[in-house]
Amino acid sequence: MSNSSEPTILAADQDLVLRFWGVRGSTPVSGPQYAEFGGSTPCIEVRCGQRMFIVDAGSGIYNLGQGHRTDLPQEVDLLFSHLHLDHTAGLPFFKPAVLDSDRVINTYCGNLGGESAGPTLDRLFAPPLFPVTLDKLCCTFHHHGFEAGQTLAFPDGTRVATILLNHPQGSVGYRFEHAGKRLCLISDIEHSDPWPDPDLAAFVADADLMVYDGMFTDGEYPTCRGWGHSTWQKGVELARMAGVKALGIIHLHPAHSDTALRDMEADMQAEMPTAFIARERQCLTVGVPRAVTGRQNGRPAMAREMRRRIKVA
């Protein structure tokens, strides 16, 4: 059930739910060696009860927009971590943006000193790089800029805390809180030295789930220093220091096959049993204990949990 092709999520009002639509970093990949974890670049759907957010518009947003999404609000709030291509390139292929003239898409961008995503997206999606500009799509875009560190306050009263992350041109981490549950999305980020960073540890403190950038392993990292990404080992260190209850790794390296990622996940779970590597289309309820998330050894338990907690229509 966690890998259902039907996208609609019917969450209970008290549930904080997320679905990973893309977990691959930097560039999409395809092939049999990526069948389990997926090849789409970052896009995460977050549900605070009936309230929906989309974080990032990597190629994973294409699948988010497919099917009959009766649960999509007329106004979609799209929060960007930042505007690198792997987090934006899917936007003009998001069906509700392309086809729905009554759809409003509010984008939020916090890593450009208060400037919205509008001017950058207008440069990116324009001839000759792209055949049309975004204003040719049916939907209406409203682009909002903020400064990372501010708390976003939405018209319905929902608030989302933000923090600036260490990444080329900066990136924004988000913290969602709903019905006593706390979810933090922390990608893209390169860990600092010393680590963990105390401000970031305070930001993610006591999270029920932290989603974290694990593009490299500690063994690979020395040759990739300065590229703006981190390791699952640093994620575990941060989680431990901050009292984070569960850890999900995303921004998976394009060269990391299913076999390599399963091995990595086993190593990580030896350190932190509640940690897992996210799978594309995986859907979970924050704060609900999961024994194991691996497809091979944990799927029956997870499926039972999903049947209990989430109705996937």
Q: Which is nearer to Zn ion, 47 or 84 (CB)?
A: 84
Taking each helix axis from N to C end, the angle separating 258-271 and 232-242, rounded to the nearest 10 degrees, works out to 30
Output 188 or 305, the one with its CB closest to Zn ion.
188
Nearest by Cα to 94 from 135, 129, 126, 65: 65
Tell me whether residue 16 or residue 23 sits nearer to Zn ion (CB atom).
Answer: 23
Q: How far is the CB of 76 from Zn ion (least distance, A)?
A: 21
CB 79 to Zn ion: min, Å: 14
- CA nearest to 23, candidates 8, 48, 3, 9: 3
- Supply the minimum distance, in Å, between the C-beta of residue 42 and Zn ion: 6
To 10 degrees, the CA torsion angle through 205, 211, 212, 217?
120
Q: Closer to Zn ion by CB, 24 or 47: give it.
A: 24
Closest to Zn ion by CB, 165 vs 302, is: 165
**Residue 277 identity (one-letter amino acid):** I
CA 67 – CA 5 distance, rounded (Å) = 9
Q: In this chain, which residue has its C-beta nearest to Zn ion?
A: 84
Find out whether 212 and 250 touch, Cβ atoms under 8 Å: yes
Least gap, CB of 205 to Zn ion (angstroms): 25
| Closer residue to Zn ion (CB): 86 or 177 | 86
Helices (H), 39-193: 61-64, 95-99, 118-124
Q: Which spans of this chain sit near Zn ion (rule: CB under 5 A)?
A: 84, 86, 188
Shortest spacing between CB 276 and Zn ion, in angstroms = 20
Q: How far is the CB of 209 from Zn ion (least distance, A)?
A: 20
